[in-house]
Chain A
Amino acid sequence: MSSDTPLQRTPLLSNHIAANGRMVPFAGWEMPVQYEGVLAEAKAVRTKVGMFDVSHMGRLYIEGTGSGEFLEHVLTFAVTNLNPGKARYGFVLTEEGGVIDDTVVYQQSPEDGSGERYLMICNAANRPAIVDWLNEHMGDYPGVTMTDFTTESVMIAVQGPAAAAIADSLCVGEEKPSTLKPFGSMAQAVKLGAEGALVEVFIGRTGYTGEDGFEFVADAADGSNLWDALLQAGVTPCGLGSRDVLRLEAGLRLHGSDMDTSKTPLEAGLERFVNMKKDAFIGREALVKQSADGLAQKLVGFKLLDSGIPRHEYTILNKDVQIGIVTSGSYSPSLDTGIGMGYVSSEYSVLANHIHIDLRGRPVEAEIVELPFYHRPK
């Protein structure tokens, strides 16, 4: 994207500015990277509850006769057997098995069986590519339509151990969000303040932080008031900076850094989100072949044994020979050390193996560890 393309703004821009958000360009959008500070925000999510404006992420309705079968064809996971309201995570792959995007798809078909509808959430930077890819492959499914309603809506992720209590307190219906299982969802009326209007909000028990939490989708016009209602309920505004720290601690891959069309889900260590029992989906044959041939490289998680922070594109060494490259790195407040993920030649991708990360000319010893780095307390 050229630098003179105007940045897109979410409906929450004025809320971010009011909360002293530091706005930065991200994937073509003007987004808050932090408010109070990355560590304070990460702590709020780990110990209480924080919220993120994720309105930049793509929101697509795939609906009409055959939409389930169509999605089965372009996704690595089963779709047609999803129960009402339930969601799954997985990938859209190229024929070569490369990851075009990772996505969450919710089943939203009317309960009376009168039709089919799915909600697909994709990464902001990949929305144009996903829309093109789906359009390109929709030809054999004449009953299917796609509606991109990203800019007509907002999405707010409310994350942390107190998220369920907050979500329940805002919802007026008898059915409470806290009764949802992970990857379940419901439509709910939310009251915006004591005197406030009731607005319809879609709530999914999903997130990208490793904590319990919910993602709220509402009309763009209601977004600002919904954010304020959450703020008044005591939720801490959190930016992209803390989101990146939290997702890395939770071992969650970031498309564009940890995977892209040059990597398969097998190399990324995410085969559990690929349903090989499905007869056919785009990329399946390439994965079958790669599985039989063996993997040349694998994604590993590592933690530094000395001070310093690994960062994207730093070199991974065995003695002084390069064996891989860092794709994500950060300081981990939960572990109080530098952590990262990266691809190494398969022979080195052994748990407890010691490697070195080249921190700007200073090789620092690191240990390959199991992902995720952080487990939330039971």
Chain B
Amino acid sequence: MSEHPSDLQYTKEHEWVRVEGDGTATIGITHFAQDQLGDVVYLVLPKVGSSIAKDSKMGEVESVKSISDLFVPLSGEVLEINKDAIDHPERINEDPHGTGWMIKVKLSDEAEVQQLLSAEDYDKTLAS
């Protein structure tokens, strides 16, 4: 059974997106990504209010084993960051699609959402 909820959308770079329907979206990394990383110990996120462009680097997630850049899959303005996850990076391992969320974004181009993957298609990219 998939660990990736069907009400979220995904990228090949292992981010998930929850499109909220009011022109905003919440973004995090997938269960698969946190499992590959192992224990996360540091999280670096962009400043609230900053503008981010699709596919640009928005931060870093660092586990005991490795460090990975975080890429933002949608353009917009950062409305909120998950300070609790910065203080408690283990949230990303424990609940990657819930309390381990990373940023909330006000979308500047909602058409970009069309390029995201369904849970089913994301799981297919993992299997291939």
Cβ-based interface call for B39 (8 A): yes
Cβ-based interface call for A37 (8 A): yes
Bound together, the chains give a CA A35 to CA B93 distance in angstroms of: 14
Cβ-based interface call for B62 (8 A): yes
Distance of B87 from chain A, by nearest CB (Å): 11
Which of B38, B42, B62, B67 is within 8 Å of A37, CB to CB? Answer: B38
Residue of A nearest to B86 (CB): A307
Per-position 1/0 for B44-80, Cβ under 8 A of A: 0000000000000000001011010000000000000
Which of B42, B62, B65, B93 is within 8 Å of A241, CB to CB? Answer: B65
Q: Interface of chain A, helix or strand or loop or mixed? A: mixed
- The reply to whether A308 and B42 form a contact with Cβ atoms under 8 Å apart is yes
Which of A33, A37, A311, A360 is within 8 Å of B39, CB to CB? Answer: A37
Cβ-based interface call for A369 (8 A): no
- The reply to whether A308 and B64 form a contact with Cβ atoms under 8 Å apart is no
- The reply to whether A38 and B64 form a contact with Cβ atoms under 8 Å apart is yes
Interface residues on A, range: 10 to 19
Residue of B nearest to A39 (CB): B39
Q: A39: which B residues are within 8 A, CB to CB?
A: 39, 64
Cβ-based interface call for B41 (8 A): yes
Bound together, the chains give a CA A331 to CA B93 distance in angstroms of: 16
Which of A241, A309, A311 is within 8 Å of B38, CB to CB? Answer: A241
Distance of A248 from chain B, by nearest CB (Å): 11
11 additional contacts (CB under 8 A) given A37-B38, A308-B62: A34-B38, A38-B38, A39-B39, A241-B38, A245-B64, A307-B42, A308-B42, A309-B62, A309-B67, A331-B62, A331-B64
Residue of B nearest to A245 (CB): B64
- The reply to whether B65 and A38 form a contact with Cβ atoms under 8 Å apart is yes
- The reply to whether A331 and B41 form a contact with Cβ atoms under 8 Å apart is yes
Q: B41: which A residues are within 8 A, CB to CB?
A: 309, 331
Q: Which B positions have Cβ atoms within 8 angstroms of A?
A: 38-39, 41-42, 62, 64-65, 67, 93
Q: B38: which A residues are within 8 A, CB to CB?
A: 34, 37-38, 241
Cβ-based interface call for A330 (8 A): yes
Residue of B nearest to A308 (CB): B42
Q: A33: which B residues are within 8 A, CB to CB?
A: 65
- List which A34-50 residues lie within 8 A (CB) of chain B: 34, 37-40
Residue of A nearest to B66 (CB): A311
Q: A37: which B residues are within 8 A, CB to CB?
A: 38-39, 93
Q: B62: which A residues are within 8 A, CB to CB?
A: 308-309, 331
- The reply to whether B42 and A309 form a contact with Cβ atoms under 8 Å apart is yes
A-B contact list, 18 entries, CB within 8 Å: A37-B38, A37-B39, A37-B93, A38-B64, A40-B39, A241-B38, A241-B65, A245-B64, A307-B42, A308-B42, A309-B41, A309-B42, A309-B64, A311-B67, A330-B64, A331-B41, A331-B42, A360-B67
Bound together, the chains give a CA A34 to CA B38 distance in angstroms of: 9
Q: A40: which B residues are within 8 A, CB to CB?
A: 39
Distance of A351 from chain B, by nearest CB (Å): 26
Bound together, the chains give a CA A330 to CA B41 distance in angstroms of: 11
Per-position 1/0 for A301-319, Cβ under 8 A of B: 0000001110100000000
Bound together, the chains give a CA A245 to CA B41 distance in angstroms of: 13
- The reply to whether A241 and B67 form a contact with Cβ atoms under 8 Å apart is no
Bound together, the chains give a CA A37 to CA B62 distance in angstroms of: 15
Distance of A331 from chain B, by nearest CB (Å): 5
Residue of B nearest to A34 (CB): B38
Residue of B nearest to A38 (CB): B64
- List which A267-285 residues lie within 8 A (CB) of chain B: none
Q: A38: which B residues are within 8 A, CB to CB?
A: 38-39, 64-65
Bound together, the chains give a CA A241 to CA B65 distance in angstroms of: 7
Q: A34: which B residues are within 8 A, CB to CB?
A: 38
Residue of B nearest to A311 (CB): B67
Distance of B56 from chain A, by nearest CB (Å): 16
Residue of B nearest to A307 (CB): B42
Bound together, the chains give a CA A37 to CA B38 distance in angstroms of: 7
Q: A241: which B residues are within 8 A, CB to CB?
A: 38, 64-65
Bound together, the chains give a CA A289 to CA B62 distance in angstroms of: 44
Distance of B45 from chain A, by nearest CB (Å): 12
Q: B67: which A residues are within 8 A, CB to CB?
A: 309, 311, 360
Q: B42: which A residues are within 8 A, CB to CB?
A: 307-309, 331
Distance of A308 from chain B, by nearest CB (Å): 6
Distance of B78 from chain A, by nearest CB (Å): 20
Residue of A nearest to B38 (CB): A38
Listed from nearest, the 5 A-B pairs whose CB atoms lie closest are A39-B39, A331-B41, A38-B64, A331-B64, A307-B42
